[in-house]
Chains A and B, each alone.
With several copies, the nearest count.
Chain A
Amino acid sequence: MKLPDKTTTMESAIAAIPDGATVMLGGFGVPGTPFLMIRELVRQNKRDLTIIKNDANETGMGVDHLLVAGCVRRLITTHLGLNANAIRMMNAGEIEVEFCAQGMLAERIRAGGAGLKAIVTDIGIDTEMGAGKPRVEVNGETAMIETALRADVAVLHAAQADPFGNLCYAATARNFSPLMAMAAKTVIVETEKLVALGALAPDHVHTPGPFVDHVVHIPELSEEYAVVRR
């Protein structure tokens, strides 16, 4: 036995994403955002996407390119504070936005990835975020049902990957990526470093290969990945 090879090109991996797809994007701010893949989604002129991502990056970066190019119908996110353009489009009705509490977004994605139907939580129960969500009693306490989130595709950035799709993330670039890797029908990864099978210690793998469908090596990073001067 040997493990299957899943390496491919960015163009063909992204080409398989249909218009109207629900796409999870890794990243919290810059770290973990798959900037080159996002550029390719724009270049291939995808339409009508539902994007699930912690944030919409900053104006002029990452998700913002998708918004400006009109690729996005709907955004499920936690915070748009650094992207005035996203807030403007939301207020103008040019995109639909669903806000989640950050840990609930993480947990709903993980639930989808774990094959659960929903989770039961009290987060936000006394706030407008909890309004309208179905209630249940668990051990005498009232809580809410938050449905699991799944996507057609997850597009992720890894620091290292092997050809089977075992992934290692760097520092806080990990954030939502391991959860999204579990929660999408098709998982596409761009990796800074493509290493040989066996180069990643089995104890150090963050996302096991069976969750991953396509591995794309990006030999060079664009300036969007760099430290932002503030």
Chain B
Amino acid sequence: MSDAKLRLIARAARDIAPGMTVNLGIGLPTQVVNHLGPDFPVCLHTENGMTGIGPTLPFDAADRNLIDAGGAYVSPIPGSAYFDSATSFAMVRSGRLDLTMLGAFEVAENGDLANWKIPGKFSPGAGGGMELAQKARRVVVLTTHTDRAGNPKLLTRCTLPLTAAGCVDRIFTDMAVIDVTPAGFALRELARSVTVAQVKKATGAALHLPEGDIPTF
């Protein structure tokens, strides 16, 4: 993984407040767990029916009955609980999930998120992503700032089918930390050695700049 990606993951981890219940989506978000210390008070949730997710286990130590929603073999910690899929999503929809971190194909300046379908190319189904995006109290996206072809993923409007409308609060990319505000995208922080001009060029929508210095991560 690139150094910029590692730093975006570490930076995202710092947004997890003590006491939160958090769901980490597949991809970059999953890596955030490596930045949570052993004494940090947090509860990780996986939608296939577990709270209190512990470290991922290697093949030889894995329990065949214990995976996360991404299929990784995980372990319990003291205070873990298992439950059925209805209870798991009840937790999400009734507002008990303080934060979810998700990947994205596209994020729009109004907070719309598209991360489940590319018509004609990628249509495996939405899994639990719609409920996580629509109902977690806070939704943040971890993504590269542009796709592999260099096209911006932060846009004025999403072109792909939505996962949920107006759901995204903040975006962590390999270039910047950007908030979704009523006025649109607002730059909060810059990745080390990235310039405002570079972020503007890589963003497919207007970017509001803060007054004064911009912190780096």
Contact = CB atoms under 8 A, between A and B. Distances in A.
Contacts of B52: 3, 164, 202, 209
Contacts of B64: 30-31, 225-227
Main secondary structure of the interface of A (DSSP, over half): loop
Given A79-B125, A127-B162, A172 B82 contact: yes
Contacts of A225: 64
Interface string B93-124: 11111000000000000000000000000011
B66 A172 contact: yes
Interface string A72-101: 000001111110000100000000010101
A160 interface: no
Contacts of A196: 78
Contact of B85 (A102, A159, A200, A227): A102
B80 to A, nearest CB: 4
Interface residues of B, number: 72
B130 A129 contact: yes
B51 interface: yes
Q: How large is the interface on A (under 10, 10 to 19, 20 to 34, 35 or more residues)?
A: 35 or more
A54 B89 CA distance: 14
Contacts of B191: none
A164 B19 CA distance: 10
The 5 closest A-B pairs by CB, nearest first: A115-B93, A103-B89, A198-B78, A126-B165, A102-B128
Interface of A: 1-5, 28-32, 54, 77-82, 87, 97, 99, 101-107, 109-110, 112-116, 121-124, 126-129, 159, 162-164, 166, 170-179, 182-183, 196-198, 200, 202-203, 205-206, 208-211, 225-230
